[in-house]
A and B are shown apart, each in its own frame.
Chain A
Amino acid sequence: MTITGRAVALRGEDIDTDRIMPARFLRAVSFDGLEAHVFEDDRLAGAAAGDRHPFDDPARAGASVLLVNRNFGCGSSREHAPQALARWGVRAIVGESFAEIFFSNATALGVPCVAVGPGDAQALMSEVERDPAATVSVDLEAMIVRAGGCEAACRMPPAARRAFLAGTWDATALLTADLDAVRAAAARLPYIAGFPAPRG
């Protein structure tokens, strides 16, 4: 499985999910239309300061790979954040590291998050910033990210990688495959089956 396309680089450490999707847009009963508000506060602040946000750069429209730094997606568990990114067009995220819940949410949506070293993140971002037309590929078989002339080894927890390669990143089917086994496991739990009598 390889995701290929143009990329957008978003620099900064510890970008939290409130940044990605401000809470006021969570006042909704569906995920529809969230892509219009991704990074909205940063984009507005940037525009006001004459500092264009990468997501407002026309050259980045249609990009499918997002490049980030350390601990991307920390904070709130809101799936609205990766939903908005995916609906905006992001199909893979390459960064130094990811917050755990964000990683799980993105995986459940079929958006792989792969980690590269800080030096490689810098090199990939520079390449993409220099040439907006550069094609970036995220190869989950070889675990290599390529951008223009730049190539970097990437990492991902083995289970998530296997799920992407097998096409089983949506776990519902796996988890509901044997509900009898789930009921049997539940029936073994002391707080469901009854607490054991003390020994002796």
Chain B
Amino acid sequence: MGATLLRKVWDLHTVRRLPTGQTQLLIGLHLVHEVTSPQAFDMLRLRGQRVAFPDRTFATVDHIVPTDGQPRPFADDMAEQMMAALERNCREFGVPLFGLDSGDQGIVHVIGPELGLTQPGMTIACGDSHTSTHGAFGAVAFGIGTSQVRDVLASQCLAMDPLNVRRINVGGVLDRGVYAKDVILAIIRALGVQGGVGFAYEYAGPVVERMTMDERMTLCNMSIEGGARAGYVNPDATTLAYLKGRRFAPAGEDFERAAAWWRSIASDADAAYDDEVRVDGSGLRPMVTWGTNPGQSAAVDERVPRPADAADGDRAAVADALAYMGLEAGAPIAGTKVDVAFIGSCTNGRLSDLQEAARVVRGRRVAAHVRGLVVPGSKRVREAAEREGLHEVFREAGFEWRQAGCSMCLAMNPDRLEGRDLCASSSNRNFKGRQGSPAGRTLLMSPAMVAAAAVAGEVTDVRRLLPQEGA
């Protein structure tokens, strides 16, 4: 019987079994940002400890940075304090920082892969739930809290219970206008926002094999929204091609050796799984959330559910979500008027996301009542997009073209919803108040669908607006 990637990586990184029965798991790459780390560094100071492996630790700044201009000191004094604390901590503890002036700054889950820091077979931790993103490379990557950030800083290790593995096989062929975002929203709808607790999700099957690395990152990014702390895709030729030439990736002959090892840690063909699920990719349509968690979604041509049609245990939650969202039970989700369109985030702020959105936007205008923002996931994504002229496409259509950061995905910087704004968003969470206004409303969808909503002024099927293939 063969082994899964998770099992191989887990065993390789096991330092010892702890008296509690947990595994002392070595973390190969620790990524740090300004929100969840200051208290952890303070705890180290208090205990007189050093960072055990500063060369396996990298920091950047993303959550609190303004995106409409980033001169220091920041206008927001608390943001400035957090930035200054990160700079001081990195200096004092010897941790490399990709700061605003480095040219490499961006959302931590965008720059790790971009720089080639994220590699197959690693264990990766970060004080951020979307660390699951890095699983796209065949790494075992998961989010942790600040006390665990302290543990990794002090020991490069975590005390962990083993994870089960659920293989999610996505078959068929995706329709044009259907993206990785739609696949993961459909998976979360089917398995629930708690379905993944205790599991790592292994995404596999023809649809996943054909996905680019950007798409695989979108898929793995939202594993946590399905309750799975980690999600991964087995490394293959696509993974290797992405890594070749990246700054921190092995080079030359070393790359060939690395590639052979990376392939060897993929799940064996006869590996046993704790659970297996099949999804028909051919049947998927663009998805839109209608509720207040990422499992509450519908295909764009479906209707908002009626509480009465929901399962017994879900009825109250559906009614509560619809009351908050102000959506009418039983009404089509298409046609829902939007106030804001946000393209960006660690889920969908990469170059290909901007390219797909630009295909929809080109030659069109953002509806008069809609505020549109495009926020690249990193400085490098921004530069690459500008080299292709995408910033002009967005600006001409009436979008704001911003600097890199987490922006309106969450309410920690000046980008936020006002009042009951309804936002078509390419981000990952439609929780109540998530985008900064306590009454703000979020509809999650793919970047192309957000672009379509921006120009139509309402939720609409992007497939109507995409250029015909080959045209």
**Interface check A178, CB cutoff 8 A:** yes
Q: List B residues 172-231 near A (Cβ within 8 Å).
A: 193-194, 197-198, 224-225, 227, 229
Task: Scan B260-295; emit 1 where CB is below 8 A from any A CB, else 0.
Answer: 110000000000000000000000000000000100
What residues of B have a CB within 8 angstroms of the CB of A70 in the complex?
194
**CB <8 Å contact, A195 and B150:** no
Q: How far is the CA of A192 from the CA of B119 in the complex (A)?
A: 12
**Interface check A47, CB cutoff 8 A:** no
Task: Scan A159-186; emit 1 where CB is below 8 A from any B CB, else 0.
Answer: 1101100101011101110110110011
Interface centre among A27, A83, A170, A179 (most CB of B within 10 A): A27
**CB <8 Å contact, A77 and B42:** no
Select from chain A the residue with minimum beta-carbon distance to B197.
A100
What residues of B have a CB within 8 angstroms of the CB of A28 in the complex?
78, 82
**CB <8 Å contact, B53 and A186:** yes
What residues of A have a CB within 8 angstroms of the CB of B446 in the complex?
none
Which of A77, A171, A196 is B129 in contact with, Cβ under 8 Å?
Answer: A77
* B158 vs chain A, min Cβ distance (A): 7
Q: How far is the CA of A75 from the CA of B409 in the complex (A)?
A: 13
A-contacting residues of B (Cβ < 8 Å)? 12-16, 18-22, 24, 26, 28, 35-36, 38-39, 42, 47, 49, 52-53, 56, 63-64, 76, 78-79, 81-82, 85, 119, 121-122, 127-129, 142-148, 150-151, 154-159, 161, 193-194, 197-198, 224-225, 227, 229, 250, 254, 256-258, 260-261, 293, 313, 316-317, 320, 410-412, 429, 431-434, 436, 438-439
**CB <8 Å contact, A27 and B79:** yes
What residues of B have a CB within 8 angstroms of the CB of A188 in the complex?
12
Select from chain A the residue with minimum beta-carbon distance to B159.
A171
What residues of A have a CB within 8 angstroms of the CB of B82 in the complex?
27-29
**CB <8 Å contact, A166 and B412:** no
**CB <8 Å contact, A195 and B129:** no
Are A75 and B261 also in contact (CB < 8 A) when A191-B28, A191-B121 are? no
* A32 vs chain B, min Cβ distance (A): 10
**CB <8 Å contact, A24 and B412:** yes
**CB <8 Å contact, B129 and A22:** no
Residue tally, chain A, CB below 8 Å to B:
67
Stretch at the interface among A52-60, A101-109, A127-135, A138-146: A101-109
Q: List A residues 63-115 near B (Cβ within 8 Å).
A: 70-71, 74-80, 82-83, 97, 99-101, 104-105, 108-109
Are A77 and B19 also in contact (CB < 8 A) when A23-B412, A175-B159, A198-B256 are? no
Q: How far is the CA of A189 from the CA of B63 in the complex (A)?
A: 32
* A11 vs chain B, min Cβ distance (A): 9
**CB <8 Å contact, A18 and B429:** yes
* B245 vs chain A, min Cβ distance (A): 17
Are A109 and B129 also in contact (CB < 8 A) when A171-B159, A179-B155 are? no
What residues of A have a CB within 8 angstroms of the CB of B159 in the complex?
159, 171, 174-175
**Interface check A151, CB cutoff 8 A:** no
Select from chain A the residue with minimum beta-carbon distance to B432.
A19
